[in-house]
Amino acid sequence: MEITFSLEEIDAVAEKVLSQNIKKTILFHAAMGVGKTTFIKALARQLGVKDMTSSPTFSLVNEYETNSGDILYHFDLYRLNSEEEAYDMGLDEYFYSGNLCLIEWPEKTPNLIPIEHTSITMKQLPDGRRHLTVK
């Protein structure tokens, strides 16, 4: 699926992505500042998360509960120094927990990512809109 949208349309796009056959692990690929965290917040809103506040840049992972009682993990692996560090922290246990895992900067842990995953690539267009590809 490919879609181009403005920030005003982000919630509708998040709802559309969630209606697709997505996996429990979703990888987000985009340059710094394109809106990965903003889009993840929109996905979380559509799932009924009420208390999502910020990117887990310093903690690496934030845990949220959806309105249906499901657990959602949001990872920001940007500050991770090595894949070994991720393994030592037990990130693989989160990835294989069966809960929804939304992962920013997944290229930091290529060998820990489940084979069954969905990839979302985002690009910012010159007019400020975003182009999103779901695979």
Which pLDDT value is given to residue 40? 95
pLDDT one digit per residue (tens) for the chain, 135 residues: 999 999 999 999 999 999 999 999 999 999 999 999 999 999 999 999 987 666 665 568 899 999 899 999 999 999 998 999 998 989 999 999 999 999 999 999 999 999 999 999 999 999 999 999 999
pLDDT of res. 50: 83
Instruction: Fold for 2-134, please state it.
Output: Rossmann fold (3.40.50)
Q: How many CA atoms lie within 13 A of 114 on its CB side?
A: 22
What span, in angstroms and rounded, lies between the C-alpha atoms of 41 and 50?
A: 10
Every domain of the chain and the residues it spans = 2-134
What's the confidence (pLDDT) of residue 89? 87
